[in-house]
Amino acid sequence: MKGTIANPTTVSVRYIVDDVDSCITFYTQLLGFEVLMHTPDAFAMLSKGNLHLVFNKPGAGGAGQSMPDGAKPAPGGWNRFQLEVQNIEAVIEDLKVKQAKFRNDLVTAPAGKQILLLDPSGNLIELFERRN
């Protein structure tokens, strides 16, 4: 094998977003991310622990370009990353006070509790509290 895929110490997730700047505000002020890189209105990379969150506006940079078949990158869908929280009910209430929007109500399952938070472009963040 000529190439290898390294075991990362950091995981990067890329989201296509409608408004990079509003997403930066959302993720930094509501979820505690830090800005690593920012090209106004086109691209940003944020960090929280070992997670890098990368934003591209459609048409901006390599990730925002249309595919050979004409399909255009767009935000939304069901894919998401998960943030583990403690006392999920309190986290939800705090986010609601800050005008955050959710896709569903709190769900309780055998593994724990979860809710889907929407960013300003409609991308999902799963908030999850493990069952003890």
Give the global pTM: 0.84
What does the pLDDT read at residue 9? 86
The residues of the chain scoring below 70 in pLDDT are: 1, 3-6
Residue 118 near residue 75 (C-beta atoms within 8 A): no
What does the pLDDT read at residue 5? 62
Q: Which two tokens stand for residue 32?
A: 């505690």
Distances (CA, A) of 116 to 61, 105, 109, 111: 28, 8, 14, 16
Give tens-digit pLDDT for 53-88.
Answer: 999 988 777 777 888 898 888 888 888 999 999 999
What does the pLDDT read at residue 7? 73
What does the pLDDT read at residue 6? 66
